[in-house]
Chains A and B, each alone.
Chain A
Amino acid sequence: MIERFKTGIEGFDQLTGGGLPKDRTTLVTGGSGCGKTLFMLSILARGLLSRGEPAVFLSFEERPRDLIDNAASIGLDLQDFIDRDLLHIDHIVPPREGMTAVGEYTLDGLKLRIEMALKSIGAAYLALDTIETLFLMFEDERAIRGELVRLLNYLSDTGVTTIMSGEKGDGRVTRRGFEEYISDCVIVLENDTMGDVATRRLRVIKYRGAHHGPNKYPFLIDEQGVTIMPLTSALFDHTVSSDRLTTGTAALDEALGGGIRRGSTVLLSGGSGTGKTILASLTVEAACQLGERALYMSFEESPKELIENVRSAGIDLKTPREDGTLVISSARPTLMGLERHLVELYRLVESHRPNLVVIDPISSLSTAGDRDAVYRTTVRMIDYLKRHGITAILAMEPTEAEDRDRAIVFSSILDTLIELSSEVDEDGINRHLQIIKARGIAHDHRRIAFHIGKSGVVLEADDG
């Protein structure tokens, strides 16, 4: 059984089942700008230093001043740890005069320096950023390989845990093609740019003695630090009052055979102005009145606009928002990459712990990525909510026939599909909804007319 230590990175400790291996070597690899340095600094700060566990950061590239500044941008106060003798940053600069190798040599000078740094603050954790610099400095790849193996084995034998960064190679995980073999755990960071939107992903490709999957996990680096969205995570303890959630209108509850089944996913599909937001808000209002917690992710309206908009139909989202049972998050889809929305959902769910989540409209995500990516992201969102037993209502605007096909593809993971429509004639707006699908429920298949007025939403069975 490998001893592990927690990295303090939300999501990462879950997906690795407890963090990184202790007294061993972990390699963090990836292309330039993928966030290796900040990832390592975050592990040090949140996983070790904040728990009073001293660590040494050996930088071959950035100056200590720059490291401190960059860490501050993601909410890490390195200076404070330095002042408290928990962190020691050692900066190794290549000699100005350059160097020439003649014959054999060891890296015992580096080893001595590491020992000194560790000893100065009593640290058993070391970060090396990046070992690639050693190869560039010394040029003799074979010699440096041998010396690195010797050094890492020595550190491991003396109870030092090492986290080092490496460079991604051309078509392979590491530049030199051997770094992954001398490491017990290998983490690959990727940074793909699609359109103007950057997407970060993390993969654990090796974890000696522990189970790891082939999955790529979206992650974020921002002012709140590093956040990773695991595919599965610990379930919450929800106090469940009943196995159904009311939609907020008795007639629709009845048509659905008693309301929305808890933990199921409902898709409200319909064009603009067909009442998707109103119906979703009605359910949120009813849920919050019964003491449930709800999250409303609004992609097209600000929280204020949403509250105003549904108030005209007699729905009050202001009260639950003020008393904290409802969180409304609003973000323009184009401003954030798809993966970011996924991580944002994860973050809000982890912090607010809702029983009900509305995403309105999920189709607007298509402005943040191509269709297949949107589809994959949506499936991930639904899957994540389902695993947590969270009831989800997704609004979707089918703009093309293709979207309807896609809705059918979705339907394998959807429990309930309700189509909304509206026509304008001389009597005003005629609204209809039809329950296309309701898994495991003897539901009403008929088109149901409904009205939205000041007094709320009224349904009536349509005999026609």
Chain B
Amino acid sequence: MADADDRQFSVLLFVIGDDEGATSQADALKSLLFENEHSQNVLRVIDLSRTPEDALTYDILAIPTIIREQPKPAVRIVGDLSDKNRVWSLLTR
């Protein structure tokens, strides 16, 4: 199902812990990628409780935070994925 654009597309999701909230956000983002014909491999879920130093590297204050690293320029979204259409339009801006 992978799209040719996947090499130029990468998304980071920052969560803390692996509770229900964190899992459902990861799942929601994965299904959003799937619906839009992207591979789940473009997504990296970063659990800051495991790698807290990433909070410094990426200046994370809000949870959850999504960063589209590729393509440039980067896009940063904070908040849950309740409005999928809005999130997708921001990620593909």
Interface, chain A (partner B; CB < 8 A): 92-110, 112-113, 116, 134, 137-138
Contacts and interface: CB of A to CB of B under 8 A. Distances in A.
Nearest to B76: A99
B86 to A, nearest CB: 5
A97 B55 contact: no
Given A98-B76, A99-B78, A100-B76, A106 B62 contact: yes
A95 B60 CA distance: 9
B90 interface: yes
A116 B86 CA distance: 33
Contacts of B83: 102-103
Interface in B58-93: 59-65, 73-83, 86-87, 90
B55 A116 contact: yes
A104 B75 contact: no
Contacts of B87: 102
Nearest to A97: B74
Contacts of A109: 14, 16, 48, 55, 60-63, 65
Given A112-B16, A116-B52, A100 B78 contact: yes
Interface residues of B, number: 28
A104 B76 CA distance: 14
Given A104-B80, A116-B52, A137 B61 contact: yes
A107 B78 CA distance: 10
A105 B64 contact: yes
A109 B65 CA distance: 9
B4 interface: no
Contacts of A99: 62, 65, 76-78
Contact of B62 (A97, A98, A138): A138
Contacts of B1: none
A107 B63 CA distance: 6
Q: Is the interface of B mostly helix, strand, loop or mixed?
A: loop
B4 to A, nearest CB: 25
A112 B76 CA distance: 19
A103 B80 contact: yes
B36 to A, nearest CB: 16
Contact of A112 (B55, B64, B75): B55
Contacts of B75: 97, 100
Nearest to A147: B62
B62 A113 contact: no
A103 B52 contact: no
Contacts of B90: 100, 102
Which of A112, A113, A134 has most B Cβ within 10 Å?
Answer: A112
Contacts of A98: 76
Given A112-B16, A116-B52, A103 B59 contact: no
B64 A97 contact: no
Nearest to B75: A97
A246 B62 CA distance: 72
B61 A113 contact: yes
A101 B78 contact: yes
A116 to B, nearest CB: 5
25 contacts: A94-B59, A98-B76, A99-B62, A99-B76, A99-B77, A99-B78, A100-B76, A102-B77, A103-B79, A103-B82, A103-B83, A105-B63, A105-B78, A105-B80, A106-B62, A108-B16, A109-B16, A109-B55, A109-B65, A112-B16, A112-B52, A112-B55, A113-B55, A116-B55, A138-B78
Nearest to B21: A106
A110 B63 CA distance: 9
Contacts of A92: 59, 61
Contacts of A95: 59, 76
B76 A97 contact: yes
Q: Which 4 A-B pairs have the closest CB atoms?
A: A103-B79, A109-B60, A103-B80, A99-B76
Contact of A105 (B62, B73, B74): B62
A104 B74 CA distance: 21
B73 A104 contact: no
- Most central of B55, B60, B78 by chain A CB within 10 Å: B78
B82 A104 contact: yes
A108 B63 contact: yes
A107 B77 contact: no
A113 B56 contact: yes
B37 to A, nearest CB: 21
A113 B75 CA distance: 22
Contact of B79 (A104, A110, A112, A113): A104
A106 to B, nearest CB: 5
